[in-house]
């Protein structure tokens, strides 16, 4: 069945469930783990469920449907799922809530086996390649009152036109590609998300145009390796339509930059090995593309990088940073780092600290290496003891925090363009927004400023946020 007919079929299941649910005031609860791609998938699941007549609740105990969208990139996500399933057992016994688990963890056989054995009360298991089929799985679970397991090992197609219920009405995520072909040796993602495949340029442009019409100001383009957008298609001679001249990541940025109403464009994650000059030039030329670039480092040591299969050296990474800094005015950088990869020596870890000192990242997402079943890293013999991993993590964290304090000082007294996102969580009388470099700024202002780009003068810094005041233009 082609994808259009398949989506139609799922829409019919949505309608059937809506009929079943009429007048019942049913509620659903969703717990999303993992990255922004998973969050975007959850927005699609929420879109389906709300079209079926379910209302969202934050309280899992009152939900008629409890849904999990899982991640397996590190071990702690597994502990979280099993903990929650334990809590849900009682709700299931008392109330009969339907339990459905989807996402990356469902692509791991040892996990689904464990769920079937230890948590037999789970109703639906579905994988990353069958998310679009959730309405059908749910309908069958409701009608047949039988467990559903809907997991495929082969790469799924890209299904367009499924409903979506977005978390924000200011910022939106748009997935531009699925899967990953890089096989970094620590990483489970290529095994659970399948091979790289890009969405058609036309579908992406249309989605962003629609978002602009709805009033969205900021778009984040998502993929495991966004700067290889359309690469596989070109290499394999798979046909695609170069709509609006889009035939690469750089041309996609340029095309989205032209869409009226959109004021900011972000993207995660690019891979340093694919950061070609045309992408650097597009970032430089496109006024809406934020100058905060996430450039995952993982390790600062060439030998560790080689064992990680990252395909760049310490020097190549630093040269890329220099080139980007020279070509893109006001560039800031954020990164991901793993400490304690198998075999990492003290000296090799020092190289990571060295790169962090040199680059002065705006933000660093730090991770302790976590063994993932089925990856080459898991089979490496020289695993690093937990206490050494934690010690390195703490030292990296201390360095990063000292740099954040120093970096924050640079903002004080400057004028920053901020997209106002809403009222502050901790103080209803204050508004909150973000700078181009993704720094949170809290300030006093009227609520009509929400969803506007305004100028703020930064008055003070507080580690994780800045304080600002509305700028009247007098100091320029």
Binding residues (CB under 6 A) for ligand F3S: these are 34-35, 37-38, 71-73, 104, 188-189, 192-193
Q: Which residues contact 392 (CB under 8 A, 6 or more apart)?
A: 339, 340, 344, 349
Nearest to 469 by CA among 413, 423, 408: 413
Binding site for ligand SF4 (CB under 6 A): 180, 182-184, 187, 189-190, 224-225, 271
Determine if 372 is a binding residue for ligand SAH (CB under 6 A): yes
Answer whether 238's CB lies under 8 Å from 198's CB: no
What H or E segment, with its residue span, contains residue 418?
Answer: strand 415-423
Which residue has 């999303």 as its token pair? 32
Q: Which is nearer to ligand SAH, 3 or 36 (CB)?
A: 36
Applying the rule CB under 6 A, the residues between 195 and 234 that interact with ligand SAH are 224-225
How many other C-beta atoms lie within 10 A of the C-beta of residue 465? 17
Q: How far apart are CA 188 and CA 104, in angstroms?
A: 9
**Sheet strands (E) in 120-247:** 124-126, 148-150, 171-175, 177-178, 197-198, 218-222
Here's the x/- map for ligand SAH, 321-350, by CB under 6 A: it reads as: ---------------x-x------------
Cα-to-chain-centroid distance, residue 119: 28
* Contact call for residues 36 and 220 (beta carbons, < 8 A): yes
Minimum distance of ligand SF4 from residue 273's CB (angstroms): 9
Distances (CA, A) of 343 to 130, 269, 298, 353, 392: 37, 26, 14, 17, 14
State the nearest-atom distance from the C-beta of 190 to ligand SF4, in Å: 5
For position 355 contacting ligand SAH by CB under 6 A, the verdict is no
296 binding ligand SAH? (CB under 6 A): yes
- Smallest gap from residue 44 Cβ to ligand SAH (A): 20
- Does 363 sit near ligand SAH (CB under 6 A)? no
Select 212 or 268, whichever has its Cβ closest to ligand SF4. Answer: 268
104 touches, from ligand SAH, ligand SF4, ligand F3S, none (C-beta below 5 to 8 Å by class)? ligand F3S
The one among 67, 187, 230, 431 contacting ligand SAH by CB under 6 A = 187
Give the pairing of strands 171-175 and 218-222. Answer: parallel
- Residue 38 binds which one of ligand SAH, ligand F3S, ligand SF4, none, with CB within 5 to 8 A depending on kind? ligand F3S
Does position 73 interact with ligand SAH (CB under 6 A)? The reply is yes
Interface positions with ligand SAH (CB under 6 A):
73-74, 186-187, 189, 224-225, 269, 271, 296, 298, 336, 338, 367, 369-370, 372
């Amino acid at each position: 069945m082609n994808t259009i007919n398949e989506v139609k079929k799922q829409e019919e299941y949505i309608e059937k469930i809506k009929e079943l649910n009429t007048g019942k005031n049913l509620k659903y609860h969703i717990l999303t783990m993992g990255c922004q791609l998973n969050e975007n998938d959850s927005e699609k699941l929420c879109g389906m469920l709300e079209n079926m007549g379910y209302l969202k609740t934050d309280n899992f105990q009152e939900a008629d449907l409890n849904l999990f969208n899982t991640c397996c990139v590190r071990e702690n996500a597994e502990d979280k799922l099993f903990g929650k399933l334990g809590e849900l057992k009682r709700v299931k016994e008392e109330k009969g809530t339907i339990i459905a688990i989807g996402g990356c963890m469902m692509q791991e056989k040892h996990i689904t086996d464990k769920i079937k054995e230890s948590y037999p009360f789970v109703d639906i298991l579905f994988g990353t390649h069958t998310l679009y089929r959730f309405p059908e799985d749910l309908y069958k679970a409701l009608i047949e009152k039988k467990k559903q397991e809907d997991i495929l090992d082969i790469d799924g197609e890209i299904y367009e036109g499924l409903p979506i219920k977005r978390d924000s009405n200011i910022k939106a995520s748009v997935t531009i590609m699925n899967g990953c072909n890089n096989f970094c040796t620590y990483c489970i993602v290529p095994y659970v998300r399948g091979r790289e495949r890009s969405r058609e340029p036309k579908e992406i442009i249309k989605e962003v145009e629609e978002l602009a019409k709805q009033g969205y100001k900021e778009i984040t383009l998502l993929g495991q390796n966004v700067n290889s957008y359309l690469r596989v298609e070109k290499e394999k001679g798979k046909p695609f339509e170069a709509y609006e001249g889009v035939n690469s990541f750089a041309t996609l940025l340029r095309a989205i930059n032209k869409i009226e109403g959109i004021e900011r464009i972000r993207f995660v994650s690019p891979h340093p090995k694919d950061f070609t000059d045309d992408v650097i030039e597009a970032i430089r030329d496109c006024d809406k593309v934020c100058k905060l670039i996430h450039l995952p480092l993982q390790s600062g040591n060439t030998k560790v990088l080689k064992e990680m299969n990252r395909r760049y050296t310490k020097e190549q990474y630093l040269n890329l940073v220099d080139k980007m800094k020279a070509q893109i005015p006001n560039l800031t950088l954020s990164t991901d780092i793993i400490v304690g990869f198998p075999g990492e020596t003290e000296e090799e870890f020092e190289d990571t600290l060295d790169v962090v000192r040199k680059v002065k990242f705006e933000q660093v997402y730090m991770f302790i290496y976590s063994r993932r079943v089925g990856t080459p890293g898991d089979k490496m013999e020289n695993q690093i003891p937990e206490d050494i991993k934690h010690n390195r993590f703490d030292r990296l964290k201390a360095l990063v925090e000292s740099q954040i304090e120093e970096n924050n000082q640079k903002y004080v007294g400057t004028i920053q363009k901020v997209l106002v996102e809403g009222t502050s969580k901790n103080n209803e009388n204050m508004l909150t927004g973000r700078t181009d470099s993704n720094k949170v700024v809290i300030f006093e202002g009227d609520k009509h400023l929400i969803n506007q780009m305004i100028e703020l003068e930064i008055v003070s810094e507080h580690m994780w946020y800045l304080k600002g005041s509305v700028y009247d233009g007098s100091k320029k």
